[in-house]
Amino acid sequence: MNPLRQLQAQGQAVWLDYIRRDILLDGSLQRMVEEDGVSGVTSNPAIFQKAIGESDLYDQAIQEFLIGEPQESVEGLYEALVVEDICLAADLLMEVYEGTKCRDGFVSLEVSPHLARDAEGTVAEARHLWQRVDRPNLMIKVPATDECIPAVEQLLAEGINVNVTLMFSLAHYEAVAKAYLRGVERCRHPERLASVASFFVSRVDTKVDRSLERLEDVEAAALQGKIAIANSKLTYARYQEIFEAAPFEPMRDRGAAPQRVLWASTSTKNPAYRDVIYVEELIGPDTVNTIPPDTLQAFRDHGQVVPTLLEGRSEASRQLETLSSLGIDLQAATEDLQREGLEKFAAPFDSLLATLRSKRDSLRAEASASPTIE
């Protein structure tokens, strides 16, 4: 049996961490839904930069858009292209959404990374995107910065589905989970609300392993490639404490669903590690793993499905205690990772806008020079 399908039996949803127009139109995503059980799609500025900025797939769409809207800003052009992809994906996944009674089948669209420290701006853009896409299986991605936690609560209170992203620590997770609870309390129809807490995994090992390598210590060497999984397992334990306990029952009675943990950044960065380690080691109920295409293919080929997420919590605690005893501050490292994550999304976003500006100006010049283009 397809290992990706087996994840469903463990209560874990598989979402594709990738979007590009060709897979929406040529049947590729539909096949992944039917054959692999893919039940969602996530996007971010880096993904769109590669899709739009580094291919010619969108050139015709850009040209057609500019014929109708020749004076549109580059930001408006970007939004039009992205929203069309998101709508195509949402429509493709609508059957999954309806078949799972609104639990799955979501497509995520991120607000501008430049709004990561601006709650008011984030809420305004999220409302705009929610209305423009106009699909119930849309999730708006909002970063888990201190400044945007109030935005998360407000959007949830308004009934807007939110994918809270760029979480790296237990502290990040707890702030997000509490915002979800407050938002649900204020939401008039929590039975229609969906949210995931996107917890980043592999980047933690990339960051911490560098510090461990510098120590040249046996204990430190034993921790390499272990901290990201340990960090994630203890975060999931906190999820269970919050959402499987009595205090959440009144919200559940109102129809509210728990805010699932979503494992993000699950591709393996270190070639010395198993290429599907961040999928295999985090398999458990009521979770989502958003997987990029190469890792999806690798797991389909040789992934092993065992309910690992509920195992090894004592060992995970010991590993984090040992890390601290070695003088490595995980909390400081995860704060750095969140800042770096914001930069890694802002840079490709700006690069994409620059590419679109160049394409727009070139097409405008061609249109002006050619009498055949109206």
- E strands, 244-304, are 260-264, 287-291
State the Cα torsion 105-110-116-118 to the nearest 10°: -90
Q: Quote the crossing angle between the two packed helices 313-325 and 330-369, to the nearest 10°.
A: 90
Question: How many Å apart are CA 56 and CA 224, to the nearest integer?
Answer: 41
Beta bridge partners of 278: none
SS3 per residue for 342-361: HHHHHHHHHHHHHHHHHHHH
Exactly one of 101, 141, 207, 226 is catalytic; which is it? 141
- E strands, the chain, are 12-16, 38-41, 106-110, 138-143, 162-167, 195-200, 260-264, 287-291
| Neighbour count for residue 249 (Cβ, 10 Å) | 10
Question: How many Å apart are CA 90 and CA 139, to the nearest integer?
Answer: 10
Question: How many Å apart are CA 106 and CA 133, to the nearest integer?
Answer: 12
Residue found under tokens 């060709």: 22
Contacts of 221 (CB under 8 A, 6+ apart): 212
Catalytic residue flag (residue 101): no
Q: Of 129, 44, 26, which Cα lies nearest the Cα of 83?
A: 129
Residues serving a catalytic function are: 141
